[in-house]
Amino acid sequence: MNRSIKNIVSTVGIVLALSGLDHGFFEVLQGNTPTPGIGIQAIGPHHQMWLYGSEGAISLIPNFLWSGLASITVSLIIILWSLFFLQKKHGATVFLLLFLTLFAVGGGFAQIIFFLPAWAVATRINSVIYWPKFLSENFRRWLAGIWQVTLSIAAASFLIGLAIAITGYVPGVDKENYGLILIICWTFVFGGGWFMFLLTYLAGFAFDAIARPVQK
């Protein structure tokens, strides 16, 4: 098993599941009320903390309470699956199906661009890693040494961005300065989060290519 790749995807799964829990929590707070359609706002007007803090999502369940409970349940299953079963024979496939289910029951829009790369990487957990010959050995060793650092940065950045998206709070920034808050939020989510996760996948491949060299 490629342990660094497994640990990386497990962390991504848990971090994204926390986002699903957040959506589910706020959907439950909206109570046993019908949704306006497939497109919903996870955070209702009574709990919204700033202008853009509504957490858009889709849900095939036409009720906020049940949509929220479904999101929470699937998110908890994802956490357990990411921790204990991702390396199993059909681990990556179930991982993908769980996230597709979370997406369909109100877990949030943006997750799809995070869990699809994570699933693709998860399919390599038990495979031999072939390092491209056009990338130098020194570069591979440098990458192999940073995967834990980049993973920590990516996870922290995503969670900070998620907190900003919910609360609109950025220290030292006026809460009415919506444009700047959005820029900071998306910088954390996509710059520090999504981009760093992609770099971490590459670093994980580099580490496991060294730990499990191809037998010639």
Owner of token pair 């496939």:
93
* Confidence (pLDDT) at 49: 96
Q: Provide the domain count of the chain.
A: 1
- Candidates 99, 124, 128; CA nearest to 114 is 99
Does 162 map to a domain?
yes
d(CA 114, CA 147) in angstroms, rounded, equals: 17
196: closest CA among 23, 64, 15?
15
Q: What percent of the chain has pLDDT over 70?
A: 98
State yes or no: pLDDT of 134 exceeds 80.
no
Q: Distances from the Cα of 189 to the Cαs of 69, 102, 170, 182, in angstroms?
A: 25, 19, 14, 10
Residue among 27, 57, 59 nearest 44 (CA): 27
Instruction: Report whether pLDDT(178) > 90.
Output: yes
**Among the listed residues 47, 65, 209, the one whose alpha carbon sits nearest the alpha carbon of residue 136:** 209
Model pLDDT for residues 26-71, shown as the tens digit of each residue: 999 999 999 999 999 999 999 999 999 999 999 999 999 999 999 9
**How many C-beta neighbours within 10 Å does residue 158 have?**
25
Does the pLDDT at position 210 exceed 90? Answer: no
Average pLDDT over residues 1-21: 97
Measured on CA atoms in the order 48, 49, 50, 54, is the torsion positive or negative? negative
C-alpha 173/C-alpha 131 separation (Å) is: 45
| Residue 212 pLDDT grade (very low, low, confident, very high; cuts 50, 70, 90) | low
Query: What residues make up the domain containing 23?
Result: 3-211
Tokens 């300065």 appear where?
177
Residue 216 lies in a domain: no
What's the burial of 33, exposed, middle or buried (CB within 10 Å: 0-12/13-18/19+)? exposed
| The total number of residues written for the chain in this structure | 216
Q: Is 113 exposed, middle or buried (0-12, 13-18, 19+ CB in 10 A)?
A: exposed
The reported pLDDT for the residue numbered 216 is 42
pTM (two decimals): 0.94
Comparing CA positions, the residue from 29, 106, 52 lying closest to residue 75 is 106
82-109 mean pLDDT:
96
Separation between Cα atoms, residue 127 and residue 3, nearest integer Å: 11
